């Protein structure tokens, strides 16, 4: 076997990944990208190789959200690329800086019927902030740096760089200049001006019932810390939104009740979209200030709410804006916070009955009962991770559980990412418990990632709320068409725990609430990726009203 000569486009790209600080590449192999696999060896960048391309993109997404670094997915051309795209939708809605690299047919064969030839750049374009193809071995490193910089600048988002196989295989003229310097991989930051920050803080102080609402990019750990610092300094609640259920996100408790009474709402990187009922969730009497990296989204807010209600706007990145606002608020001294306490109480509100609720029927658990057994595990470690995915069960998990780190399917409302998310989380935090709560329907999207998790020695615990149903859709049928017209949503009492065992993981079925804590402990102690198949009652997710 010949060794790499270290001078291919693939070597330039691998060295550029190393220069960017990339620590893992999530991938599924294929003809077009094998030179890059070879080149990554020399850079000692491990490849986490998966069983479906969608899983690689989901892992890169979770990696990016949890680390604050870019997440890199590497796919093969044609069908491999196409398989990864729906996962890109989730990453895009989560404002997650994934850099997708897919091999493609060689430039020299485009239009001539090449193997797996496909317009991959066009396919990825609507799912990314930038979608483009590498042009030459000399340029591919700089093109990768551009992909990284665009992904992490402004509103973070996926970027796609297509890798023609001849670009990867051809020799480079000058390796030294082909690999960009570290400075090429930094974001360009748009700060909030001092004047704008001062104006916004004054408006917050003048308001009686102000709120700050942030978007998905601020739901990372760093984003939440910046929000908490602003809340601390200003006495104004800073509320992050990242759920497809918007203001009715069960993890926000009775937030919609206090939102309806707000008299000033500052949106920081939070688009007016369906999660705010296209603007209808903003109370008619309130004033609005919009801070956003995208002018188009400021204009959308003005169109949705009316120019006169948007009393101020500024173009700035969310993180920079939160930091600037906190520092101005800090300088202005402490602020009254009775209203903030009211907002926090509304968000924390859960029905009192939840602390003891159990299932009505034997052989199943109430979803709340299931979640109750998991919170102590999430409380047991400062880096614990909660993954929540699925229809109704994902919402139950979000309503009941909190953790230092949380990765949910997010605004995309797309199900299926839980197992890849959990695997990536366990690689990021090998010492911390990683609990993924998912539905039985959702389990079916990426079960083979138990195989990847066994190989990667990534022992997360997946807790499947098994109601033998695509319950979220079944609930719609009950509501809209009646039980006699429910169709296409029934599933079987499948032993998902045994699926995990078949892949070399740990598994148990749980049918009684009293058995769950010990089962969770055994799963954690097994040291293997685990699946607890918990039979649950089929309930609609909660919506909260304190009245
Ligand atoms: C990729 C994708 N396919 C389909 C849907 C529609 N959908 C949303 S929730 C749901 C049911 C999920 O079932 P399960 O994971 O078992 O959770 P449950 O609702 O039963 O708690 C479906 C089919 C979706 N949101 N995303």
Mean pLDDT by runs of 10 across the 547 residues of the chain is: 72 98 98 97 98 98 98 98 98 98 96 95 98 98 98 98 98 93 96 98 96 97 96 97 93 96 98 97 96 98 95 98 97 85 97 93 97 97 97 96 96 97 98 98 98 98 98 96 96 98 98 97 98 97 79
Enzyme catalytic residues: 473
* Secondary structure of 173-218 as H, E, C letters: CCHHHHCCCHHHHCCCCCCCCHHHHHHHHHHHHHCCCEEEEECHHH
Residues 194, 325: Cα–Cα separation, whole Å: 9
408 in helix, strand or coil? strand
**C-alpha to C-alpha distance for 37 and 86, rounded to whole angstroms:** 24
Element (H, E) at 312: strand 310-315
Report pLDDT for 332.
86
Ligand 1 binding pocket mutation candidate from 58, 388, 470 (most atoms within 8 A of CB): 470
What six digits make up the tokens of 143? 């093109």
The predicted pLDDT at position 547 comes to: 65
Predicted pLDDT at 54: 98
Supply 165's token pair: 């196989």
Contact present, 325 and 201 (Cβ < 8 Å):
yes
Query: What separation in Å is there between the alpha carbon of 391 and the centre of ligand 1?
Result: 5
For ligand 1, atom 25, the nearest C-alpha belongs to 414
Q: Residue 69 CA to chain centroid, in angstroms?
A: 13
Choose which residue among 127, 420, 442 to substitute to test ligand 1 binding: the one with the highest number of ligand atoms within 8 A of its C-beta. Answer: 442
Nearest to 371 by CA among 390, 345, 347, 343: 390
Q: Give the number of other Cβ atoms within 10 Å of residue 9's Cβ.
A: 28
CA of 439 to the centre of ligand 1 (A): 8
d(CA 126, CA 92): 10
Are 545 and 250 spatial neighbours (Cβ–Cβ below 8 Å)? no
- Taking residue 5's Cβ as centre, other Cβ atoms within 10 Å add up to 8
538 lines ligand 1 (CB under 6 A): no
- The DSSP line for 99-120 is EEEEEES-GGGTTTT-TT---H
Largest pairwise CA distance in the chain: 73
459 CA to middle of ligand 1, Å? 25
pTM: 0.97
How far away, in angstroms, is 256 Cα from ligand 1 center? 24
- The CA distance from 162 to 133, in Å, is 4
Query: CA separation (Å) from 364 to 33, 183, 405, 498, 512?
Result: 47, 56, 29, 18, 6
* Helix or strand holding residue 57 (H, E): helix 53-67
Helix (H, G, I), strand (E, B) or coil at 405: strand
Q: What is the pLDDT of residue 1?
A: 44
Q: Who contacts 455 (Cβ-Cβ below 8 Å, separation ≥6)?
A: none
């Amino acid at each position: 076997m010949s060794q790499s000569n270290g001078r291919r486009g693939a070597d330039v790209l691998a060295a550029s990944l190393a220069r960017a600080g990339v620590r893992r590449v999530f991938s599924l192999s294929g003809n077009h990208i094998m030179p890059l696999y070879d080149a990554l060896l020399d850079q000692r960048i491990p490849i986490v190789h998966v069983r479906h391309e969608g899983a690689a993109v989901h892992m890169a997404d979770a990696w990016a959200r949890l680390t604050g670094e870019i997440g890199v997915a590497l796919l093969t051309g044609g069908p491999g690329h196409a398989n990864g795209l729906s996962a890109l939708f989730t990453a895009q809605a989560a404002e997650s800086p994934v850099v997708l690299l897919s091999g493609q047919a060689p430039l020299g064969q485009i239009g001539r019927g090449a193997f797996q030839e496909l317009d991959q750049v066009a396919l990825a374009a609507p799912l990314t902030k930038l979608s483009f193809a590498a042009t030459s071995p000399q340029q591919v490193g700089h093109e990768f740096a551009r992909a990284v910089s665009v992904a992490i600048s402004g509103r973070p988002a996926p970027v796609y760089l297509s890798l023609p196989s001849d670009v990867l295989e051809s020799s480079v003229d000058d390796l030294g200049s082909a690999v960009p310097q570290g400075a090429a991989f930094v974001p360009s930051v748009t700060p909030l001006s001092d004047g704008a920050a001062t104006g916004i803080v004054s408006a917050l102080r003048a308001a009686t019932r102000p709120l700050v609402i942030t978007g998905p990019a601020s739901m990372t750990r760093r984003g939440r810390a910046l929000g908490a610092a602003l809340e601390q300094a200003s006495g104004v609640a800073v509320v992050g939104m990242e759920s497809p259920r918007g203001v009715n996100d069960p993890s926000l408790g009775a937030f919609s009740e206090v939102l309806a009474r707000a008299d000033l709402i500052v949106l920081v990187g939070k688009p007016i979209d369906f999660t705010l009922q296209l603007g209808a969730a903003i109370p008619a009497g309130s004033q609005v200030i919009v801070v956003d990296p995208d002018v188009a989204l400021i204009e959308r807010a003005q169109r949705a709410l009316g120019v006169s209600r948007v009393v101020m706007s500024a173009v700035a990145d969310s993180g920079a804006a939160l930091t600037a606002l906190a520092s101005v608020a800090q300088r202005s001294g402490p602020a009254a916070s009775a209203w903030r306490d009211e907002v926090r109480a509304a968000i924390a509100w859960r029905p009192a009955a939840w602390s003891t609720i159990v299932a009505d029927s034997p052989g199943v658990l109430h979803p709340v009962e299931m979640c109750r057994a998991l919170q102590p595990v999430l409380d047991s470690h400062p880096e614990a991770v909660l993954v929540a995915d699925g229809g109704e069960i994902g919402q139950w998990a979000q309503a009941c559980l909190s953790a230092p780190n949380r990765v949910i399917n997010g605004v995309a409302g797309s199900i299926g990412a839980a197992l890849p998310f959990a695997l990536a989380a366990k690689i990021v935090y090998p010492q911390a418990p990683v609990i993924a709560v998912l539905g039985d329907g959702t389990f079916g999207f990426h079960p083979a990632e138990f195989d990847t998790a066994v190989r990667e020695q990534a022992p997360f615990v997946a807790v499947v709320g098994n109601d033998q149903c695509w319950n979220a859709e079944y609930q719609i049928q009950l509501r809209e068409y009646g039980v006699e017209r429910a169709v296409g949503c029934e599933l079987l009492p499948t032993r998902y725990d045994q699926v995990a065992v078949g892949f070399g993981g740990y598994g148990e079925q749980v049918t009684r609430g009293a058995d769950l804590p010990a089962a969770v402990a055994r799963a954690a102690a097994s040291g293997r990726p685990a699946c607890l198949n918990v039979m649950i009652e089929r309930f609609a997710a909660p919506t909260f009203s304190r009245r």
